[in-house]
Structure 1
Amino acid sequence: MDRRRFLQGLAATGAAVGLNGVSRSQSTPTAASPARRATLPPVRVPVQGLSLQGHTLQTSFTSAGQPWQVFEDLRDPHGTLTLSDGHHACVLGKRTEPVYAETDTPYFGMKLADIALAEADLLADHLLRHGEPAEDEVRRAAPPVAAQLNPENYYGRLPWTTFVGTRQCADTMPVYTSGSTRTYHTDQVFADLHDPKRVARRREGLLGGWLPAVHKVIPIDEQSWYDVLVFADVDATDRFVVQTWHRTARIERGKMVHVSYGHSYPSYPPRRMPPDASAFYAALLRFHDYWQAELADLCIAEVPAAGWTDMVHHAFARELIVRPDGTYPKYGAVDRDYYGNEYDGFQDTFTSSLYANLEWGRFAQAAAVLDEYFTDFVQPDGMINMRGAETGQFGLTLSLLARYFHYTGDGALLDKHRAKIEATVQLLLALHDASLQLSSSDPGYGLIHGWNESDACLFPDPTLWWKPYYANSAMAARGLRDIAQVWQAITHGGSSQPTQWQQRADLLAHQVERTLRANVRHDLKPPYVGPLPGVTLTFRESLAKEKPSEQQWPHRAYSELLQADVLPGDLSHLVIDCLRGHGATSIGVVANVAPVAPDSRDILGFISYGYAQQLLRLNRIDEFLLFLYAHRYHAHTPGSWTAGEVSDITGGMPLFCMPAQLTIPLLLRWMLVFEDSAGETLYLGRAIPRAWIGSGQSIRISDAPTRWGRTGFQLRATDESTIEGIVTLPDRGVPTLWLSLRVPAGKALAAVQVNGTAADWHGDDVKLQGSPGQRIHVHARFT
């Protein structure tokens, strides 16, 4: 359901919301705090070898006593902008994407009503018809996000599509379609930019690939365009006011015929005058260095297709912008939904951030996020300082705390919050105890009852959703199992608690499997299983007939059930097939399931990554790639990459939420480096698109953290029948390790050698062995 419609519906019922007052304590920085990281030298490239032929010298400026020059290729909207001191340079590329539909026949000619009403995911079926989906075909499956901006979605306010900010500022600045902000107006420079029809044909992107500097191109004719740059002033120290830099230019046939520079506000002579070009570019240099330093600890990845690794960088930069001081949690930005304090303790904001930062080696940020959350938002009894808890997220929290320890070895931070962590465990055990008091004939016997979705608490009678959703128990089993594995090492004690937690985990997992098997409806095709036991209607039927429905928000329940990974493979396959076949996916991504309507079939941008994760575990790689592509192109605005919590497939503008923004980093990391839930097997390159291998370009990731230490690999097809690769084994031990060589479509591996010796390989997968930290050379032939 669209978030605004949902809230309007609640308002109509007169529902009142309250939260017991809990004092907010000051978070204590840990030794890993980002504020204490070492200062690194600025990122530069040698001028020697750079070609500036045909570039225009814009201006010069001085920075730290060093003279700099600014060159820009104005022959093309994507021409680079280069800042050079004569020896080294910052080269800022430009890449934009159209924000409008490029075809008048979306959905491959299918009718939207047919797509929306069908139980099967018709778009997914079409895109998977030949196996691995084509990225560009997925992009064209539906109109781009924000291609159709409805003023009603903004309650009469101007429609913003992206925003800028800094770590140190506690707020953000929205950027509107024309490039204007709330305080600086591009249409005061060029009146054409006040024309919504002209601006609707714009292209959007980010300067430097991923830097949070908005770049907009509004065409005039084939060789002329308006060019708009906006970025936040990283030198500003205002607590809430976001100071911004602006360049608004008209470019005609390779020349900048008119340009205006601005800083935050319109001119007010003689006190406030526009900045000159040198001030703008000096600020741009500082901006570049600031953000490069902020993300210096990100492990490096390289893939052949444009934009993917930039999306990872941008997601982490955006997180620092959204979080005041880079650490205090905010679910959204700009609008009250979701920037209001009632959302600050939302569990998904914490778990998605901790997960993504750990997977990409950002341990200092992970530590800061963990410490902040447990200090300010976890109460001594394990309950959270937020309006409505999500029961499954307690289990995911415990699982991620164990992952934090596996990756970082930092037991001190977990020991600091030991009492609250143990209280979280006891909360789940108490809920499980209550379920064991039920009659053994009760459908929910032995399954944890509780809200699965936070929004349940907003209704007049929230008890309707205090139910035994499978995900509650599955996530609890996962969390108890994982935290039990590390608790002895963290506490340095001989406690029997971990053994007891493991026993509870096994009991919960067994009960989930037993009860789920007993509730499969084999009379439906594909077989159907509901989000909780004892229901007789499918979720579509329930949402249509029962108002309100206890099966509301089934998308969360299914995603968390799959993410927990406690079901045997056959049941996991069944759940996925159920979602795809009964109306719970949209273009291969988990759908935001709501009462069926002929004009919408929305994509769930956040929490749905658990579904994708299980696709990867089950080796359903084609579907995983469809999810990845569809999430990028239909849950993010083009070019500026603002991720929506829920995105429709008709081109509307969704509400931004930070957990949705962190989904692509998780998916791309798992595509390249993925470990099984049991902590026994490591997969490298498990979901690399065959088209990427066939490109002949390098695919690599370095220093990717795992529970066995850092690892990485590089692969490249050197010709039409050969792949060369180098794998660096983890430095703290070697698990069972598989490298996937997903050769181009229609090809098959013919021979594989590892360090010159014939290797053990099955299908696309090569088994690797060696000593910790060893570099392994892989040579493969395919036919």
Structure 2
Amino acid sequence: MDRRRFLQGLTVTGAGLGLGGLTYTPVAPALAAARSTATMSALPPVRVPVADLPLRDYVPVTRFTSDDVDWHVVEDLRHADGVLILHNGNLACVFDKRTEPAYAEEGVPYLGMKLADIALAEADLLADRLLRHGEPDEQEVRGAAPPPASQLNPENYYGRLPWTTFVGTKQCADTMPVYTSGSTRGYHSDQVFADLHDPKRVARRREGVLGGWLPAVHKVVPIDEGRWYDVLVFADVDAHDRFVVQTWHRTALVEHGRISKVRYGYSYPACPPRREAPDAAAFYRALLRFHDYWQRELADASVATVPAPGWSEMARFAFARELVVRPGGDYPKYGAVDRDYYGNEYDGFQDTFTSSLYANLEWGRYAQAAAVLDEFFDDFIQPDGMINMRGAEIGQFGLTLSLMARYLRYTGDDALLRKHRGKIEATAQILLELHDESLALPRDHPGHGLIHGWNESDACLFPEPMLWWKPYYANSALAVRGLTDLAGVWPDLGATDAHTTAMQWQERAGTLRGQVERSLRANIRHDLTPPYVGPLPGAKLTFRESLTQEKPSEQQWPHRAYAELLQADILPDDLAHLVIDCMRGHGATSMGVVANVAPPSADGRDILGFISYGYAQQLLRLNRIDEYLLFLYAHRYHAHTPGSWTAGEVTDLSGGMPLFCIPAQMTIPLLVRWMLVFEDSAGQTLHLGRAIPRTWLESRKPIGIDKAPTRWGYTGFQLRATADGDIEGTVTLPQHAMPDAVWLSLRMPVGKRLSDIHLDGQPVPDTDRRGETVRLRGKPGQRIEIGGR
């Protein structure tokens, strides 16, 4: 449900369980070294040799001096995505420009179906159509519905200008919205070119970010052939105002390969004699510092190489945007700009914490992960384990415990967890106490032995919030995951009676796990097709029936309950498949992504941009790769604004502007990382390249990732197809320890298969092949040469 409509409505209605199976290998220095900003600031700036750049067709723009070095600005103005380069004769900063149309392109929307039919159907009709041939086509997914922010009606935003993106810095406590024309609240681009005030002209804009992933706004508004308005906006990284975001602007008219008119701006219109417009040299000098600032901030992230444009850049952009949203880089904010969700009542939202910690760990951003963890436990976890926020989500307590274990396994930083050990243990104790309460219920009670509690924070906003204090399966499932994972590392944190406590947690997790499975099997409705299981036991109606007939419904927010149940990964495969099939067949997915489930309406069927990554994770575990890729594509193109990549908490399929939230932004980094490197929940198996699209190998361009963290140490691989259609590449096994199994997937283009595979020149025995996957054997840190015919 749209957040503003939801709030308006309120005002009206008043893995394995054995300790021996879990490994722990420290792979990073202690917290003090990991969080050192001195190390980051000492890194040399990112530069490219000028000799490697084809500058022949570039137009000189201006020159400037920085730190006594002369710099030249040149730009390819033959087309709107031409590269901008700053160079000093020897070395250069390269700013790629790649924009996407912010409007619905020509074609029949919804793959020829009616939106009302898609919205009212229980089955996910768009997903069914997009998966009809197996692996979905990325461009077909992109065109399956109008992109977000392509249909903007101010009446839908209470008369306010609908911003589509924003800028800011790590040190500033606020952000600055940027509107469709490129204007901000302080600087108006239409004062330079009146055409930019025309909503019809601006509606045909293209949007992007500068430098591939840097948090700078680039907008292109076409005029006619060879002529366009070009707008650049970025935040001043040298400014240290507490709340005011100072911004740099370039608004230009490009005509037939030349800039015929340009105006540079800084934060506000000129107000002589005290405030004059900056010159070009000041703008590009600031752009150089902006480039170096952000390159240093993300220097520790793993580097992914993929042939399809935008994917690795989206991951890096998300981390830059997180720093922009978080005041000081670590204080949590759920949204940006508007009170919903920038108000302090959202700051302690558990999803903001868990999605950030998870994504930063998966990309090796240990310093940021440590800062986020430390800040959240300091300010938002109370000594008794309760969160400093209006409404708890019980499942997220379990996910928090699981992520504590992941943090320790990845970083080896026990000092930070020892600091917060009391609060971590108190968090676990909340789950144990809730489980005790459920065990006291009569054995014939549907919720006996299952943890009761809210699955959604918004339950606390209703007149009778305890209506939703129910035994949702996800509460218990994530408790099992959290207690199991934390028990595996708890003795390493030096707690009194740690081994005894860990064994008790394991025993309790086993009891809960068994009850979840028994209850779920007992509540399957085989009279429906596909078989149906609700988000909690004892429900007589499906969630759609309940939302329509029961006011209020105990099955509200079933999307969260299903996504978290699957993310916990405690169900046998047959039940996990059943839950996914139930969601797709009974109205809980939209274009292959978890739907934001509400009473069915012909007006639309919404995509849930945040928390839904748990569903995608289970698709990958179950090897439902085609569906995983559909989720990936649909999330990119229908949960993010095109080009500017502003992720929506909930997005509709009709092109409206969603409300931004940072957990939605952190989803693509997780999905891209897992498609390349993914480890199972039990800590036994490592998968490499498991969800690489088949078309990527066909491109003959390199695919891989370097320095990807795992519980066994850093790993990575590089693959590519040769001109002859063979496969070649390398894999670097985890540096500190070997899992029980390492599997490399070689997903060949449709119609092709590998006739033989060689590892370090030796053929792979049949016992080490499973279709397109190959088992890799070796020693920690070993480099293996891959060859396939």
TM-score, L = length of structure 2: 0.96
> What is the deviation of 1:720?
4.3
| 1:30–1:368 Cα contact (<8 Å) kept | no
Paired letter, 2:720: R
Cα distance in 2 between the residues matched to 1:247 and 1:324: 26
- Separation in 2 of the partners of 1:719 and 1:76? 30
Q: What is the aligned counterpart of 1:35 among 26, 34, 37?
A: 37
For 2:225 and 2:694, how far apart are their aligned partners in 1?
36
Match of 1:403 in 2: 406
- Secondary structure, aligned partner of 1:61: strand
Q: 330, 341, 346: which one pairs with 2:344?
A: 341
- The aligned counterpart of 2:634 is 630
Residues 500-525 of structure 1, C-alpha deviations (whole Å, 9 max, x = no match): 00001111111000000000000000
CA distance in 2 between counterparts of 1:743 and 1:204 reads 33
Residue 709 of structure 1: SS of its match in structure 2?
coil
**Pairwise mapping of residues 65-84 of structure 1 onto structure 2 (< 5 A)?**
65-84=68-87
1:233 partner amino acid: D
Amino acid paired to 1:770: G
Within 2, Cα distance between the matches of 1:423 and 1:267? 56
Residue 739 of structure 1: aligned partner? 744
Answer yes or no: is the 8 Å Cα contact 1:30–1:413 preserved in 2. no
| Offset from partner CA, 1:305-349 (integer Å, 9 cap, x none) | 000011011000000000000000000000000000000000000
**More deviation in 740-749 or 512-521?**
740-749
Aligned partner letter, 1:683: H
Q: Which stretch shifts more, 733-742 or 33-42?
A: 33-42
Residues in 2 aligned to 1:445 and 1:37: alpha-carbon distance in whole angstroms: 53
Give the corresponding residue for 1:21.
none
Helix, strand or coil for the counterpart of 1:703? strand
Asked if 1:485 is matched to 2:493, the reply is no
Greater CA drift, 4-13 or 540-549: 4-13
Match of 2:575 in 1: 571
**Residue type at the aligned position of 1:284:** L
Residue matched to 1:658: 662
Q: CA deviation at 1:700?
A: 1.1
1:188 maps to 191
Aligned to 1:127: 130
SS of residue paired to 2:583? helix
2:432 partner SS = helix
CA contact (8 A) 1:34 1:368 kept: no
Matched, 1:220 2:243: no
- 2:770 equivalent in structure 1: 762
Identify the residue that residue 25 of structure 1 maps to in structure 2. Answer: none
Which residue is 1:463 aligned to?
466
Distance 1:383 1:152 in 2: 40
For each residue in 1:555-598, what CA deviation from the matched residue of structure 2 results, as whole angstroms up to 9, or x when unmatched? 00000000000000000000000000001100000000000000
Report what 2:116 is aligned to: 113
What is the alpha-carbon distance in structure 2 between the residues aligned to residue 35 and residue 756 of structure 1?
A: 44
After TM superposition, give the deviation of residue 30 of structure 1 in Å: 5.3
Give the residue type in structure 1 aligned to 2:424.
I
Task: After superposition, give the CA deviation of every residue in 1:118-170 in whole Å (9 maximum; x if it has no partner).
Answer: 01111100100000001011000000110001213322111100000000000
Query: Which of 316, 321, 326 pairs up with 1:318?
Result: 321
- Report deviation, 1:703: 0.5
Q: 1:3 aligns to what?
A: 3
Deviations 1:723-764 (A, max 9, x none): 012000001111110000001112222111111112121111
TM-score, normalised to structure 1, is: 0.97
User: Displacement, 1:719?
Assistant: 3.0
Which residue is 1:440 aligned to?
Answer: 443
Question: In structure 1, what is the Cα distance between the partners aligned to 2:178 and 2:725?
Answer: 48
- Secondary structure class of the residue paired with 1:526: coil
Report the Cα distance in structure 2 between the residues aligned to 1:493 and 1:731, rounded to whole angstroms: 32
Counterpart amino acid of 1:755?
A: D
Which residue identity lines up with residue 779 of structure 1 in the other structure? G
Match of 1:17 in 2: none
User: Which of 688, 698, 722 is 2:726 aligned to?
Assistant: 722
Contact 1:30 1:371 in 2 (8 A): no
2:595 is the counterpart of 1:591 = yes
Q: Which residue matches 2:783?
A: 775
How do 1:164-563 and structure 2 match up within 5 A? 164-491=167-494, 494-495=497-498, 496-563=500-567
Q: Which residue of 2 aligns with 1:752?
A: 757
Paired residues of 1:526 and 1:578 also in contact (CA < 8 A): yes
Aligned equivalents of 1:226, 1:744: Cα separation in 2: 41
Distance 1:640 1:721 in 2: 36
Q: Distance in 2 between matches of 1:677 and 1:576?
A: 18
* Residue 649 of structure 1: aligned partner: 653
Hey, what's the Cα distance between the residues in 1 that align with 2:534 and 2:497? 42
Of the candidates 60, 63, 66, which is equivalent to residue 63 of structure 1?
66
Counterpart in 2 of 1:140?
Answer: 143
Rounded to whole Å, the distance in 2 between the matches of 1:270 and 1:492 is: 66
Q: Is the 8 A contact 1:30 1:367 kept in 2?
A: no
Distance 1:500 1:698 in 2: 48
What one-letter code is carried by the residue in structure 1 that aligns with 2:772?
D
Equivalent residue letter for 1:35: T
CA-to-aligned-CA distance 1:435-483 (integer Å, 9 cap, x gap): 0000000000000000000000000000110000000000000000000
Deviations, residues 604-632 of structure 1 (Å, cap 9, x unaligned): 00000000000000000000000000000
State the alpha-carbon separation in 2 of the partners of residues 382 and 390 from structure 1.
13
The aligned residue for residue 101 of structure 2 is 98
| Structure 2 counterpart of 1:77, one-letter code | A
C-alpha displacement of 1:778: 1.1
Deviation, 1:494, is 4.5
RMSD: 0.9
Match of 2:678 among 674, 677, 681: 674
Q: Which amino acid in 2 is paired with 1:618? A: L
What SS does the corresponding residue of 1:311 show, helix, strand or coil?
Answer: helix
- After superposition, the C-alpha distances for 1:617-654 in whole angstroms (9 at most, x for unaligned) are 00000000000000000000000000000000100000
Alignment partners' CA distance in 1, 2:704 and 2:37? 30
Counterpart selection for 2:644 from 640, 646, 649 = 640
Aligned to 2:18: none
Q: In 1, distance between residues paired with 2:480 and 2:36?
A: 33
What is the rounded CA distance, in whole Å, between the counterparts of 2:574 and 2:98 in structure 1? 44
| Farther off after superposition, 133-142 or 491-500 | 491-500
The answer to whether the 8 A contact 1:133-1:622 is kept is: yes
SS of the residue 2:632 aligns to: helix
Deviation at 1:721, TM superposition (A): 3.2
- Does the CA-based 8 Å contact 1:749-1:763 persist in structure 2? no
Output the CA distance in 1 between the equivalents of 2:252 and 2:192.
9
Distance 1:289 1:439 in 2: 63
